[in-house]
Amino acid sequence: MKTFLSIGTGPGIGYETAALFAREGFRVVLSARNLDNTQALVKRLQDAGYEAYAEQVDAADPQAIAQLVEHTHARFGGLDETHYNAAIIRQATLAEQPLDTFNHDLNVNIGGALAAAQVSLNLMYARKSGTLLLTGGFFGIEPNADYLSLSLGKAGIRALTAGLFESAKTHNVHVATVTVAAFVEPESEEAVGIAKAFWDLHNQKPSNWTAEVTYSR
């Protein structure tokens, strides 16, 4: 059975994407800072008959991210999909946001993605297969001064994906992002649609791999 690791699993995009991969036959590992919330999401999947596990991780801690990826790989004898979905959505202008929270936001919004990418790709390169999926956002294309830390983080996600895409492809590993241009609520049509966009990226043939698709409503 293939293994899907979700980092920063919330009740919207993260859960719906993991649930879709579970329905398609993957064991799924959900992770976030709040273990109780994560366990509740896992129970929903387990009650539906899927193999699902909960892990606690602080996406602001790159060492914790690295350990989670390595632990998942070791526990299940491989890692086929990593989905980085963590983000701090903070409304604050440059003048309004203290420097310490700004740096913390960037640690989550892009630093954790870098850590997840580094370890996941090293493991996937060794196996010559795998997919790294990253949740992007339209603020990475059109930054918003009222959501500056999120805008910079999503721009980083987009640059990370584009920068890794070609080199990863030579190792038969697909790096891709869904740029979300929609407001997403839990259990919404948008969350389900974004999950489908990630699944479609996973299913692309290597000759047709793309680095980015945009989801909009």
pLDDT tens figures, 42-76: 999 999 999 999 999 999 999 999 999 999 999 99
109: tokens are: 């919004």
Query: For residue 80, what are the contacts with CB-CB under 8 A and spacing of at least 6?
Result: 2, 3, 4, 26, 129, 130, 131
Residue 217: is its pLDDT beyond 90? Answer: no
Residue 208, class by beta-carbon neighbours within 10 Å (0-12 exposed, 13-18 middle, 19+ buried)?
exposed
Mean pLDDT throughout 192-216?
97
pTM score: 0.96
* pLDDT value at residue 167: 98
Query: For residue 39, what are the contacts with CB-CB under 8 A and spacing of at least 6?
Result: 54
| Tens-digit pLDDT profile for residues 107-129 | 999 999 999 999 999 999 999 99
User: What is the enclosing helix (H) or strand (E) of 73?
Assistant: helix 62-76
| Tens-digit pLDDT profile for residues 173-195 | 999 999 999 999 998 999 999 99
* pLDDT value at residue 45: 98
Instruction: Report the DSSP beta bridge partners of residue 52.
Output: 28
* pLDDT value at residue 99: 87
Contact predicate 65/116, CB 8 Å = yes
DSSP of 100-162, one letter per residue?
A: HHHHHHHIIIIIHHHHHHHHHHHHHHHHT--EEEEEEEGGGTS--TTBHHHHHHHHHHHHHHH
The overall average pLDDT reported for the chain is 97
Count structural domains, the chain: 1
Task: Count other Cβ atoms within 10 Å, centred on residue 75.
Answer: 13
Residue 94: is its pLDDT beyond 90? Answer: no
Q: Which domain holds residue 134?
A: 3-216
Kindly report the CATH number assigned to the domain that includes residue 164. Answer: 3.40.50.720
Percent of the chain with pLDDT over 70: 100
In this structure, of 87-91, 98-102, 145-149, the range with the lowest mean pLDDT score is: 98-102
Instruction: Report the DSSP beta bridge partners of residue 4.
Output: 28, 81
Residue 46, classed as helix, strand or coil, is helix
Percent of the chain with pLDDT over 90: 95
